[in-house]
Amino acid sequence: MGGGAGVRFSPVTETYCDHCGAVLTDGDHRRCRAAREMEPPRYCPECRRRLVVQVTPTGWTAGCARHGTRTAG
């Protein structure tokens, strides 16, 4: 499953890379985007908190204590 396929969450201001946690405007995140094809997000794109992630056979959920839960699958 692709990392972004079927993601359900409200539009947010994505400040941080959800793969490496760095500021999106700092550096090149093409490798992060490629990695995300085969991985769930690990950092909240709004506050860069580490997400509590549960992977299931057909999807994942990723929860941020402040910004809620994103799901895919």
Nearest CA among 71, 69, 37 for reference residue 56: 71
DSSP run (H or E) holding 30:
helix 30-36
Residue 12 DSSP class: -
Q: Name which of residues 18 to 57 contact other proteins (CB under 8 A).
A: 20-21, 37-40, 42-43, 50-57
Q: Among residues 23 and 55, whose Cβ is nearest to other proteins? A: 55
CA-CA-CA-CA torsion sign (67, 12, 47, 43):
positive
Q: Among residues 11 and 30, whose Cβ is nearest to other proteins? A: 30
Does residue 17 bind other proteins (CB under 8 A)?
A: no
The residues that touch other proteins, with contacts defined as CB under 8 A, are 1, 3, 20-21, 37-40, 42-43, 50-60
